[in-house]
Structure 1
Amino acid sequence: MQLGKLLNFAIISAAIVGTSGCVESDNAMSEKVKAELKPESKPLQLAYEYVGLAVQKKDTHVWGTSPVLGRDGRVHLYVAEWPQPKKKTMSFRGYFSTSEIAHYVGDTPAGPFEFVRMAVTDQNDNFNAPHNPTIQFIDDQYVLTFIVNENDDRGKQRIIMYVSDDLNDQWRPAKGAEADGTILRKPSDSKIWNHTSVRGVANPTLVKHNGEYVLYFKSAIPDPKKDLNDFKNREFGYGVATAKSIEGPYTIHPERLTSKEMELEDAYAFSYNGSMHIISRDIVGTLGDKEGGLLWTSQDGFSFSAEDTQRSFESLVSYTGKEALAGANVYRGSDKGQLERPQLLIENGQPTYMYVATGINANQGYGSSSHVFKINVK
């Protein structure tokens, strides 16, 4: 059954406001629709084989690394990076102030990868710090989504969508977006689950599933009974927006998708065997140490329950051994090697490699880096 048909059952009335995708609806899904869904014969399990470093750069923090197979048969990576600050007090703050998106390419998924160019630059002001890119090849075109903020304000994060017929980085804003490519903003409608988000809408992941275009995103919801200016007063969850055309406009589904008791961050969604899956960081360590990640499964793509979520990957040291990280500089996370921003290479509909960022690096003179793992589907 197409995801769009499910959405028609789930949403009784909808109102679209600009590109912010504001929706009002009675979100009930009929039991008949649920009964028509066919679950997988067995839960998907992914096993990871460590390959090595994907990208590191001298005097630079390298972060989210998203892969796509190009028409040239090579693997192209879109990578968030920014200069290492000279002052230690600046810590890791460049991700929301000076980040830009770089383009790398390699002959194989394992690399080595060479820098090509800066694909999306920091324009400051209202198009500040392009970050957390994800690249897809859908409907015979490339789609690059990422986040920007306004003047270093993480509360004003929004999602940009660019499209192109090739990977020469001649990107144009999606037709359904605002002039600068903004495809999704935080909604103002109080009926939508994330209208109080203190991190706007962020960290997109895009999927085509049964003819529909599905854009998942993160928001951070504060406890209204606590200090709203406290950075730690936020709880991460994911929502979804859908469109009938890949270039939008996208309409936000009014209900939250993920369980409040299981926070997540840095989600990557993919469709496999008729189900929707999300691989994510286990940000609070619900099913293990927070250095690892989770695999979420949904039959309808609109709800991901705790019961259907499993531990998927562990810390970097779990794969490399302690000796490989001995004496490493820790810029973010712990000395175990916290793995963040999982991004998958999908080949013929199956995940084959995972690229992850980590705030630890044993190579002197380099900042945070990204690593690559081979995936075996069980």
Structure 2
Amino acid sequence: MNKNISLIVLLAIFSISTLKAQTSQSTKVLSKEKTTKMPLSHMAQTAKLIGPAISDPNWYNWCVSPIKGKDGKIHIFGSRWPAKEQMDGWMGKNAEIAHFVSDKPEGPFKYVSTVLKSSDFPHPDKMWAPHNPRIEYVDGKYILLYIFQTQKDKALMYTGMMIADDINGPWRFAGKNDGLMVENSKDPKHWTYGGVIGTDNPAFMKIGKKYYIYFKSGMPTQRTAKYGYAVADNLEGPYTLSDHPITDNIDYIEDAMAFKVKNEYFLLTTDNYGTNSGTFGNIILWKSKTGLDFKLADAKVGMRTILDYWGTPEDHKKLLQNEKHFEYSSSGKLERPAVLLIDGIPAYFYASAGLNVSGGENAETYVFKIDWANGN
């Protein structure tokens, strides 16, 4: 009897110790001292890395946009290019947007088809390298936003749209201008005039009866870029540019995804240099009551870097010492953030990362389980 009681006590102590260890393990990196100008969201504090969503030794996989289809499966539209071209391949003629599918949000995701490549454009001499896809379902149709290159001597990009009745296609270019939806204003007084990077990194939302394409533009340097929107009465345009930016970022942001939860509107963007949020490589979660005005005062850290959710400091050290691993940013900065909404609530987070934490030589995209808690 005494032996049994002793065993029970020991098991209880072991269980408590294990629980403490697990709790410490899940929060250990987020408890590191890091300077932040804005509070951490519940999502950032509790997110759990599941692993790679898309990984292929023959391709660099970067942008990622998930959606739950009518078939109940999870579909991802992502940008990719041949691995032999390394990171700069995203601007080349071999870059493409591909369709992947999985039975569940965690993956694994399998390649289905290539949706858009340079040779598909009506004018491939001035439209190439489709990139930065955003997939949405609106008015009974699937729309795919993307950017494309327009000049060979610099990164100047415009925003286009494809549309389909079925998520598996066929896809067609939307509107009356070969899919082109958003480009810089030709008015010298407009805030997008002469934008050094064009109009890129699109997001989409329908608010009321109007359609909004969010885009990034900026002068005189890329780091001054802010988000604005183009609005239309019809899904396929024509779209009219906003008179002013709608974000008050003090330094460069990009990669927006727009979504609505209940009666609030949200943007996810990167904080490329950390000057908006206080830490290099944070993801910013912007909140708005209208969807047309987003302030840093109302924003939170949406996610941190992948190293904040993966491994121990010793693991990080070993990874960085591995000469063959893909490394675009040793910080592990996440890019191209996206959430998957299940029954109207963000349930999973997807992004590319500046590090391949699997140790592979190519870029891969990752999936995290998140707890939304109203974005707080």
Give the TM interval when normalised to the shorter protein: 0.7 to 0.9
Relative to 1, partners in 2 of residues 1:303 and 1:204: Cα closer, same or farther, differing over 3 Å?
A: same
Q: Secondary structure at the match of 1:353?
A: strand
Contact 1:96 1:152 in 2 (8 A): no
CA–CA separation in structure 1 for the residues paired with 2:168 and 2:118: 19
Question: Displacement, 1:260?
Answer: 4.2
Q: Structure 1 residues 309 and 182 mapped into 2: Cα distance closer, same or farther (>3 Å)?
A: same
CA 1:262–1:276: 2 relative to 1, 3 Å: farther
Relative to its length, the structure with more helix (as a share) is 2
Q: Which residue of 2 aligns with 1:288?
A: 278
Which residue does the alignment assign to 2:18? none
Q: CA deviation at 1:83?
A: 1.1
CA shift for structure 1 position 150 = 2.1
| 1:344 lines up with 2:339 in the alignment | yes
In structure 2, do the counterparts of structure 1 residues 272 and 154 end up closer, same or farther at CA, with 3 Å as the change threshold?
Answer: farther
Deviation at 1:363, TM superposition (A): 4.2
Q: CA deviation at 1:348?
A: 2.4
1:372 to partner: Cα distance: 0.6
1:46 to 16, 36, 43: 43
Which residue matches 1:107?
103
Instruction: Say yes or no: does 1:116 pair with 2:116.
Output: no
Distance (Å, rounded) in 1 between the aligned partners of 2:350 and 2:249: 27
Distance across 1 between alignment mates of 2:359 and 2:347? 30
- Structure-2 residue corresponding to 1:308: 298
Deviation digits for residues 22-74 of structure 1 (CA, Å, limit 9, x no counterpart): xxxxxxxxxxxxxxxxxxxxx98534222111001113211011111112110
Could you say which residue in structure 1 is the equivalent of 2:73?
74
CA deviations 1:50-107 (Å, max 9, x no partner) are 2111001113211011111112110111110011236xxxx52111113210111000
Larger radius of gyration: 2
Q: Does 1:245 align with 2:234?
A: yes
Distance in 2 between the 1:246 and 1:153 partners?
33
Alignment-derived partner of residue 217 in structure 2: 219
Q: CA RMSD in A?
A: 2.0
Measure, in 2, the Cα distance between the counterparts of 1:148 and 1:351.
Answer: 28
2:372: which partner in 1?
377
Is 1:63 the counterpart of 2:59 in the alignment?
Answer: no
Q: Please report how far the alpha carbon of residue 339 of structure 1 lies from its aligned counterpart in structure 2 after TM superposition.
A: 0.2
Letter in 2 for 1:69: K
1:221 to partner: Cα distance: 2.0
* 1:319 to 2:309 alignment: yes
**Residue type at the aligned position of 1:351:** P
The aligned residue for residue 268 of structure 1 is: 257
Matched letter for residue 70 of structure 1: G
CA distance in 2, matches of 1:238, 1:63: 21
Query: SS at the partner of 1:108?
Result: coil
Partner Cα distance (2:157, 2:217) in 1: 10
AA partner of residue 253 (structure 2):
L
Equivalent-residue separation in structure 2 for 1:221 and 1:181 (angstroms)? 25
**Contact 1:57 1:366 survives alignment (8 Å):** no
1:192 aligned to 190, 214, 218, which one?
A: 190
Deviations 1:229-255 (Å, cap 9, x if unpaired)? Answer: xxxx64221111111222221111110
In 2, the alpha carbon distance for the partners of 1:139 and 1:205 equals 17
Shift of 1:266: 0.7
Q: Partners in 2 of 1:153 and 1:278 — Cα distance?
A: 31
Question: TM-score, structure 2 length as denominator?
Answer: 0.80
Identity of aligned residues (%): 33
Measured in 1, the distance between the counterparts of 2:87 and 2:145 equals 22
CA deviation string 1:138-176 (max 9, x = no partner):
11110000000125455431111111011223111223x
For 1:55 and 1:341, the matched residues in 2 are separated by 14
User: 1:132 aligns to what?
Assistant: 132
CA distance in 2, matches of 1:253, 1:77: 30
Tell me if 1:159 matches 2:156. Answer: no
Structure 1 letter corresponding to 2:180: T
Give the secondary-structure state (helix, strand or coil) at the position aligned to 1:307.
helix
Question: Quick one: which amino acid aligns to residue 115 of structure 1?
Answer: Y
The structure where strand makes up a greater share of residues is 1
Query: Unaligned 5+ residue runs, structure 2?
Result: 1-39
Instruction: Specify the code of the residue in structure 2 equivalent to 1:194.
Output: T
Task: Encode CA deviations 1:163-210: one digit per residue, 9 max, x unaligned.
Answer: 1011223111223x41x2111111111232111210100011011122
SS at match of 2:89: helix
Amino acid at match of 2:247: T
Checking the alignment, whether the CA contact within 8 Å between 1:128 and 1:152 is kept in structure 2 is no
Match of residue 15 from structure 2: none
